[in-house]
Amino acid sequence: MALSLSSSPLLLTPDLNRSDSLSQLSYPTPRLRVSDKQCSIKTIRLSRTHINPTAHNDRQPLHLHYKLPLQLASSSVLLFLGFGARICSAGPTQLPLTPAVNQQDQLLDQDTEQKEDEKLNQEFENWKWKTYALTVPLRVVSLQNSVPQSWVKDFMRSQGKRLKFQMNLCASIDGIVNNLSTPFNKVKAKSASYMAADLLSFAIKKRFIEPIAEAEDQDWFKRLSHKWKVYLRSNDAGEIDPRGKIWAAPYRWGTMAIGYKKSKFQNHNLAPIEDWKDPWWPELAGRISMVNSPREVIGSVLKYMGASYNSNNIDLQVAGGKIAVQQNLALLANQVRLFDSTHYLKAFGIGDVWVAVGWSSDVLPAVKRMSNVAVVVPKSGASLWADLWAIPAASRLETKQIGGQVRGPSPLIHQWIEFCLQTARALPFKQEVIPGASPSALESTLVKLPEELLKGKPSVDTNLIAGVPPR
């Protein structure tokens, strides 16, 4: 993040895409939520980390290496003088007699030298076996309620005492974007690396994040399906490019969904909502709240008209072209009472509106606190969103704490991503502890959990299965 982004389809499958939101990253890029290089990564919906493991090891060794060269230098001088004496003695001139050396003094010198050698060897042995405290920091920044608490506990247990782990939670994607941009506004950043979430394309263009080094060699990347890999590769302009660098790693995804109050519909003899045409019913005028995301709003209009979310040329691919789209957009504006990504579910909860259109990560937790509410993914399809881990570029900024040198991301970044993508990590999603689904669920067979595993948990009337939309 680690950060999360939402923008142009992060995960684009036919007719499915998520709108812009920043991580938590909403602009024309996937909803990323990003970590600092101590994000190591932020949720784009993005997440960062730093380490200096050799800080202590340089001290005594420096002292030791300083002594050894002095002894070697002294020995070389003695050899040189001895060699010179032999050359001189080869000449015909008689040298003056060398004063006799006292044998007792010679023995004392040898004894002193031997003791110094023994002391030096002992110091070296003590240094070799001395235990130094070595910690590896990893700071993760993510959206609230996007990472299961069990992940944090299990990861810390797997890494042992050497790990210095810190997780920071942001209430919104804007919070993560601000977290990413602040170091650049101040020029310098703390010596930390973290993960967070953010809009991928936006973050790449702004140079808020950097590519994940050696990602192609990692097991977690090799196991990802091609559908994921396509949207993780971009050029430096943030455009999807099959030959581009890898900028993020997914850990959660979901879909657009429509929640509606069954009691209100029953009282007014309205049929249950099934598809995108239904919110245009005259009876629902002024009774709808919706996320304020251009991609999702325009996308819903395109679906209402029978077109694809992913239409690139509206005049050629949509009946009636831009004029027809604008007319239907105006009709939707009359139907929707509130376009607001923050408060649209509050209006739904207090009964000001009967229908709420938004991301499943928002809608599902909210309706669990309500009664007589249903959540449906339109049968003609909907956009997908994804939360990704990304590495903030701020972790490479200058820091005063280590003499101004530049530090890189935490060495534990790949371990963290690998951990998040393990099969066992999907259980909290299947048990609906956290809304959404694991990346592996995008193509796997949908299987409902046994009722006993869901016993005691609030149930929701929905066509989603373990957070995954119907196929």
User: Over 60: is that where the pLDDT of 24 sits?
Assistant: no
Q: How confident is the model at residue 409 (pLDDT cuts 50, 70, 90)?
A: confident
Among 16-30, 87-101, 254-268, the minimum mean pLDDT is found in 16-30
Mean pLDDT of 12-18: 37
**pLDDT surpasses 70 at 36:** no
Question: 124 falls in which pLDDT band (50, 70, 90)?
Answer: low
Domain with CATH 3.40.190.10 in the chain: 256-383
Hey, what long-range contacts does 58-67 have (CB within 8 A, 24 or more apart)?
60/127, 60/130, 61/127, 64/123, 64/124, 64/127, 67/120
d(Cα 384, Cα 33) in Å, to the nearest integer?
14
Number of Cβ within 10 Å of residue 220's Cβ equals 19
What are all long-range contacts of 59-66, with beta carbons under 8 Å and residues at least 24 apart? Answer: 60/127, 60/130, 61/127, 64/123, 64/124, 64/127
Give the pLDDT band (50/70/90) at residue 459: confident
State residue 329's pLDDT score.
97
pLDDT at 285: 97
Chain center to CA of 77: 60
CATH code of the domain made up of 256-383 = 3.40.190.10
Q: What is the mean pLDDT of residues 360-379?
A: 95
What is the per-residue pLDDT for 222? 95
Q: What is the pLDDT of residue 194?
A: 29
Give residue for tokens 């007792």.
104
Q: Which two tokens stand for residue 302?
A: 């395109």
3-state helix, strand, coil in the chain (%, to 5): 40, 20, 40
User: Tokens in use for 357?
Assistant: 């259109």
Q: Does domain 2-52+135-252+387-462 correspond to CATH entry 3.80.30? A: no
- Read off the pLDDT band of 195 (50, 70, 90): very low
Q: Can you name the residues that pair with 44 across neighbouring β-strands? A: 4, 33
Higher pLDDT, 452 or 405: 452
Nearest one of 262, 272, 258 to 357, comparing CA atoms: 258
pTM: 0.69
Model confidence pLDDT, tens digit, residues 53-109: 334 444 333 333 333 333 333 332 222 223 333 333 334 444 455 455 556 656 666
Least confident of 69-73, 195-199, 425-429: 69-73
Contact 234, 246 (CB under 8 A): no
Average confidence (pLDDT) over 369-380: 95
Least confident of 52-66, 224-238, 296-310, 418-432: 52-66
Least confident of 66-70, 114-118, 165-169, 387-391: 66-70
Question: What is the pLDDT at residue 71?
Answer: 34
| pLDDT(17) > 60 | no
